[in-house]
Amino acid sequence: MIKYHPSDALLQAHVAGELPLSMSIAVSAHCEMCQVCQDKVHKMNAAFAQETLEAEACTETDLCEFNFDSMLEDIMSKPTAPQEVTPDAMVEVNGEQYKLPKAFRHQLQDSWSGIGKVNRMRFDTAENKARASLLHIGAGGEIPAHTHKGQEITLLLSGDFCDEYNEYHPGDFIVMSSEHEHSPRTNSGCLCYTVVDAPLYFTKGITKLLNPIGELIY
Amino acid sequence: MEAKEQSMQAQEQKQLIMRVAQHRDRQAFGALFKLFSPKIRAFGVQRLGQQGLAMDLLQETMTTVWTKAHLFNADKGAVSTWVFTIMRNQCFDMLRKVQHNREDAFGDDIWPLFEDVESGDGMSDHKMSDKLLENMDKLPPLQRQIVQGVYLQELSQQELAERLGIPIGTVKSRLRLGLEKLRSYLEKHHD
């Protein structure tokens, strides 16, 4: 049972197409896993479309300045497009295969890199700050206690994990702000998608020395 | 706007898109174009900040409407929702290009336009007719004309012969050839 969802404001921004790629992937993937948010987004989409495209009857003056006939001719000279069959988004890590939500289809280009039980696949989103990655933690694995300089979003795709605050299940959409310090660990292993605004800061004893690892892990 | 008026508008738009889907009806497409183009341009100017890019958005969006009208599924939502989805997805990809100089097309992965085609044998009637419509365009023009006349416009073979000024025997043989070809396309698709 999914307990953590994106806020309505975030869903609305997603529907409007206002989020960056890294966040759009997170929200889209959550919605594919979560019927509640899927229904919400479906309604928001219809309402926003109505608002955007059907506000009032079109005013002729808008069309006068440009000759649309040539554009229309050009468009209507095109043949019908076939229905595309899009492949599933499959990913393999540590000998296990996972089928991921559709939003990941074209993102799984890179290879995994790992330290101990933690494996990461960084996505090249071309966004300046945000780092988007798939993170796989093997059974019994743990990430040292850390805080975030910015906001961290975690979407649990498979398996389980818990931290000082809660236990999480597949589909849970977890938002951590810079005040939260947490050390996630997993019993059976997990695969998640994370978006981090800025590098992590480790806060506990020896792991303070490992601060650069934050950048490597996420 | 009254809800009743809205649903009438939606109904009209659905009729228009069906005419484009089934008959490549140019007049119906022109009506849809006139209906949506000012809004798409306004959205483009607001998001992309340039008239030129807004025109690109308009052209790309309406091209998809024209080339994929036969894939539109009225059970999944209104025409305006579908057109908006195409426009928003296209705009998302264009913004990525403007802001990050990336030529990628991820919009349709994030907000899927259509239900996925199921693999395997479980092809529903609806999907089957989609497939038929899509393959019909691959037929040679003379055969396509007859197959469309009989199955989409529901004309009799006699009516078609009269309209086209050809013997009924020619209608029959073109129909037979057309249907055989269609079947071979579909069988190939199943392999």
Domain ranges of chain A: 107-217
Cβ distance of A63 and B70 shorter than 8 Å: no
In chain B, what residues touch A68 (CB-CB under 8 Å)? 33, 37
Residues B46 and B81 in one domain: yes
* A182-211 average pLDDT score: 72
Q: How confident is the model at residue A14 (pLDDT cuts 50, 70, 90)?
A: very high
pLDDT beneath 70: ranges in chain B: 1-3, 115-131, 188-191
Residues B57 and B85 in one domain: yes
Q: What is the CATH number of the domain that holds B141?
A: 1.10.10.10
In chain B, what residues touch A66 (CB-CB under 8 Å)? 55
Nearest to B130 among A42, A62, A83 (CB): A83
Residue A110 has a pLDDT of: 81
Q: How many CB pairs under 8 A join A and B?
A: 133
Q: How confident is the model at residue A194 (pLDDT cuts 50, 70, 90)?
A: very high
Say if B50 falls within a structural domain: yes
Residues B104 and B183 in one domain: no
Q: Please report the ipTM that was assigned to this predicted complex.
A: 0.84
Q: Using a pLDDT cut of 70, give the percent of chain A over it.
A: 84
Residue B186 has a pLDDT of: 72
Residue B117 has a pLDDT of: 47
**In this model, does residue A207 exceed pLDDT 50?**
no
| Lowest-confidence segment of A61-70, A199-208, B25-34 by average pLDDT | A199-208
Residues B67 and B134 in one domain: no
Cβ distance of B59 and A80 shorter than 8 Å: no
- In terms of Cβ atoms closer than 10 Å to its own Cβ (0-12, 13-18, 19+), residue A181 is middle
Residue B2 has a pLDDT of: 59
Nearest to B38 among A25, A42, A62 (CB): A62
Helix extents (H) in chain B: 3-23, 26-48, 51-68, 79-100, 107-110, 125-136, 141-151, 157-164, 168-190
Residue A211 has a pLDDT of: 47
pLDDT tens digits for A83-124?
877 778 999 998 889 999 999 998 998 889 887 788 999 998
Cβ distance of B34 and A85 shorter than 8 Å: no
* Superfamily (CATH) of domain A107-217: Jelly Rolls (2.60.120.10)
Residue B179 has a pLDDT of: 81
Preferred mutation among B46, B106, B115 to probe A, highest tally of A CBs within 10 A: B106
Which of the two residues, A211 and A36, has the higher pLDDT score?
A36
The reply to whether B26 touches chain A by the CB within 8 Å rule is yes
Residue A204 has a pLDDT of: 55
Q: What is the CATH number of the domain that holds B9?
A: 1.10.1740.10
The alpha carbon of residue A130 is apart from the nearest alpha carbon of chain B, in Å, by 13
B117, B123, B68, B73: which is closest to A88 by C-alpha? Answer: B117
